[in-house]
């Protein structure tokens, strides 16, 4: 694996852990695709640093469990804005 890919995977992981960020938010910040972020943290990171990979997985699992709530809030705000 190229050095810059390993560095990117670690930087992405640190960002996700620090900000409790979603894959989409992280992709926007780093200027890469969601697929790249996902591949970095699920395939590459466990080979580079399994401990950090575990911490990232916890954050992403939490985000996944909460996404239906965020979606509902976004929809509520959308219709609230339309009706005002």
19 backbone dihedrals φ, ψ, rounded to 5°: -95, -5
Q: What is the pTM of this model?
A: 0.81
Q: How far apart are CA 2 and CA 19, in angstroms?
A: 26
Alpha-carbon Rg for the chain, nearest whole angstrom, is: 15
Domains identified in the chain, total number: 1
Domain of 10 in residue numbering reads as: 3-83
pLDDT digits (tens, 9 = 90+) for 25-83: 999 999 999 999 999 999 999 999 999 999 999 999 999 988 777 778 778 888 888 87
């Amino acid at each position: 694996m190229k050095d810059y890919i390993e560095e990117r995977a670690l930087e992405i992981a640190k960002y996700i852990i620090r900000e409790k960020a979603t894959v989409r938010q992280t992709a926007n910040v780093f200027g890469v695709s969601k697929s790249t972020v996902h591949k970095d943290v699920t395939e590459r990171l466990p080979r580079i640093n399994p401990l950090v990979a575990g911490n990232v997985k916890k954050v992403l699992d939490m985000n996944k469990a909460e996404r239906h709530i965020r979606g509902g809030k976004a929809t509520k705000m959308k219709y609230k804005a339309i009706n005002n």
